[in-house]
Structure 1
Amino acid sequence: MSQRLVLATGNAGKVKEFAQLLADFPFTVLPQSQFNVSSVAEDGTTFVENAIIKARHAARETGLPAIADDSGIEVDALNGRPGIYSARYAGDNATAEQNWQKLLLAMEGQADRRARFQCVLVFMRHADDPSPVIAQASWEGSITTAPKGNGGHGYDPIFQVEGTTLTAAELEPAQKNANSHRGKAMGMLIDALKAKGIL
Structure 2
Amino acid sequence: MPTLVIASGNPHKVAQIGAMLDSLALEVVSQPRDLAVEETGSTYAANARLKAEAAARRTGHWALADDSGIEVDALGGAPGLYSARYAPTDAQRIQRLLHELGDSLYRGASFRSAMALADPSGQTVLESEGICRGLILRRPQGHGAGYDAIFYVREAGCSYAEMPDHLKSKLGSRGKAARQLAPELLALLGVA
TM-score (norm. length: structure 2): 0.93
Cα displacement (A) at 1:66: 0.5
Which AA in structure 2 matches 1:31?
S
Structure 1 residues 77, 38: CA separation in 2 closer, same or farther (over 3 Å shift)?
same
Match of 2:10 in 1: 11
Q: Distance in 2 between matches of 1:38 and 1:72?
A: 21
- In structure 1, the gaps of 5 or more residues are none
Tell me, what secondary structure is at the counterpart of 1:67? strand
Query: Shift in Å at residue 24 of structure 1?
Result: 1.4
192 and 73 in structure 1: CA distance in 2 versus 1, 3 angstrom threshold: same
State the shift of 1:197 in Å.
6.7
* 2:68–2:112 CA contact under 8 A, matched in 1: yes
Amino acid at match of 2:132: W
In the alignment, what sits opposite 1:175? 167
Counterpart of 1:104, as a letter, is: L
Q: Is the 8 A contact 1:6 1:29 kept in 2?
A: yes
> 1:44 matched to which residue of 2?
41
Q: 1:5 offset after TM fit, Å?
A: 1.2
Please report how far the alpha carbon of residue 193 of structure 1 lies from its aligned counterpart in structure 2 after TM superposition. 2.2
Whether contact under 8 Å (2:2, 2:189) holds in the other structure is: no
Distance 1:4 1:195 in 2: 14
The answer on whether the counterparts of 1:72 and 1:83 sit within 8 Å (CA) in structure 2 is: yes
Unaligned runs of 5+ in 2: none
Alignment length (residue pairs): 191
Contact (CA 8 Å) 1:72, 1:119: kept in 2 or not? yes
TM-score by length of 1: 0.90
CA distance in 2, matches of 1:69, 1:184: 12
Give the aligned partner of residue 25 of structure 2. Answer: 26
The answer to whether the Cα contact below 8 Å between 1:64 and 1:126 also exists between their aligned partners in 2 is yes
- Alignment match, 2:141: 148
Query: Could you give the per-residue CA deviations for residues 101-137 of structure 1, whole angstroms, max 9, x where no partner exists?
Result: 11111110212100010011101112442x5200101
C-alpha RMSD over aligned residues: 1.6
Deviations, residues 163-196 of structure 1 (Å, cap 9, x unaligned)? 4541001111222222111111111110232465
